[in-house]
Amino acid sequence: MVSEQIEYYVIEVIGGEGFPANLFYQKEKNELYISPTGRLCGPAAAMIESQNIAERFAETLMPRIQKKHGNSINLKVEKCMANGSLKMIEREMRRIKEHTEKITEWLRLHEK
């Protein structure tokens, strides 16, 4: 079996307060991320193809996130790697492309 590898970026949520009960477990386990729609989520994190887009998304979201969850919250861009079969990598690449397109459109509408 041939193993392929890809890299992508996620936005991890650090600190903050006032999280809904359904995200409490993820917060306690340091598994809280930003979704492609800019919401807090568990393992359904936005998979972003470039560090630049991920950093722009985090920066643009920060005031909204801080308003809702306090100034102690921080968003951290993390590089991730995925390994797997060619079929699995192709599926992940489609997901990364979809998420990145959704985020790019969101940034077009919300960046100053």
What pLDDT, in 10s, does the model give residues 29-42?
778 999 999 999 98
Tokens representing residue 90 in the block: 């192709």
Number of domains comprising the chain: 1
Could you list the beta-strand ranges (E) of 1-112. Answer: 4-14, 33-34, 40-41, 74-84
Global pTM reads 0.90
Residues whose CB falls within 8 Å of the CB of residue 87, separated by 6 or more in sequence, listed in order: none
What pLDDT, in 10s, does the model give residues 77-100?
999 999 998 899 999 999 999 999
Domain residues for the domain of 30 are: 4-110
